[in-house]
Amino acid sequence: MASPVAVWASDPEAIPAAPGTYALVLRLDRPRPFTVGALGSFVLQRGRYLYLGSARGPGGLAARLAHHRRPPARPHWHVDYLRVAGARPVAVGWMEGAAHRECAWAQGALALPGAEAPIPRFGASDCRCLTHLLFLSAAGEGMETPQAVLEALARRLGISLTCVLL
């Protein structure tokens, strides 16, 4: 296996229309009350969040990540509710392929410095994971930038990610 690395692309248009798994870094600039479907109501803290997901439908990663970059008119996925609450995508890392990796990524990401599961079952309605959304509370632990978050994730999981700032 190759050494884990995050390779940075310069343009969001580099995101392929292929199936794959992705790690979306979002930033919330101020605390916000937040309701997400049947999961209930929460107060989101100001800071950086990491959402782990997959894109296996038409248009693959390009279509799914274009969806996440637009403010949703009507929430469809759990992460759309996060966008409605004001969280903005700032970076994404991905790996192409049809393999179901998002659960392993979510479990591994829980070991990142300062990672917390703010909303049980978020993004995990079709699996048994604790959550697919992490709050990164200890930004001072080498996780100060979106780039550092994705690079730490690649190292933690022992994978190579292609990444881009949004």
**If we measure between CA atoms, which residue out of 107, 110, 109, 113 comes closest to residue 143?**
113
Domain count, the chain: 1
140: confidence class by pLDDT, cuts 50, 70, 90: low
Q: What value does the mean pLDDT of the chain take?
A: 92
76: confidence class by pLDDT, cuts 50, 70, 90: confident
What is residue 154's predicted lDDT score, i.e. its pLDDT? 96
The one-letter amino acid at 7 = V
Range of the domain at 115: 5-165
Long-range contacts of 38-41 (CB under 8 A, 24+ apart): 39/78, 39/119, 39/120, 39/121, 39/122
**If we measure between CA atoms, which residue out of 64, 158, 155, 53 comes closest to residue 106?**
53
Can you tell me the mean pLDDT for 35-61? 94
pLDDT tens per residue across span 85-99: 999 999 999 999 999
Half-sphere exposure of 7 (CA within 13 A, CB side): 11
Q: Quick check: 51 pLDDT over 60?
A: yes
